[in-house]
Amino acid sequence: MARITVFKGRDERLNKAIFFILAQQSPLTICDIWRRLRTQRDFACIPYNTVNRRVRALEEHGYIEKSGERKTKTGFAAILYQLTARAYLAILLDKIDLDNFIEKAPESSILSAMEAIISAHTSA
- CA neighbours within 13 Å on the CB side: how many for 117? 7
Q: Domain of 52: which CATH number?
A: 1.10.10.10
- CB count within 10 Å of CB 50 equals 14
Burial of residue 83, with CB atoms counted within 10 A of its CB: 0-12 exposed, 13-18 middle, 19 or more buried:
buried
Q: Mean pLDDT in the chain?
A: 92
Domain assignment present for residue 78? The answer is yes
103 alpha-carbon distance from chain centroid: 28
Domain assignment present for residue 111? The answer is no
| Total domains present in the chain | 1
Task: Tell me the one-letter amino acid at 63.
Answer: Y
Domain assignment present for residue 117? The answer is no
Confidence of residue 4 (pLDDT cuts 50, 70, 90): confident
Domain assignment present for residue 121? The answer is no
Domain assignment present for residue 29? The answer is yes
Domain assignment present for residue 112? The answer is no
Domain assignment present for residue 35? The answer is yes
List, for residues 43-99, the tens digit of each pLDDT value: 999 999 999 999 999 999 999 999 999 998 888 999 999 999 999 999 998 888 888
Domain assignment present for residue 106? The answer is no
Contact 86, 22 (CB under 8 A): no
* Cα–Cα dist 22/36, whole Å: 10
Average of per-residue pLDDT across 1-24: 90
Average of per-residue pLDDT across 3-31: 93
- Host domain of residue 43: 5-96
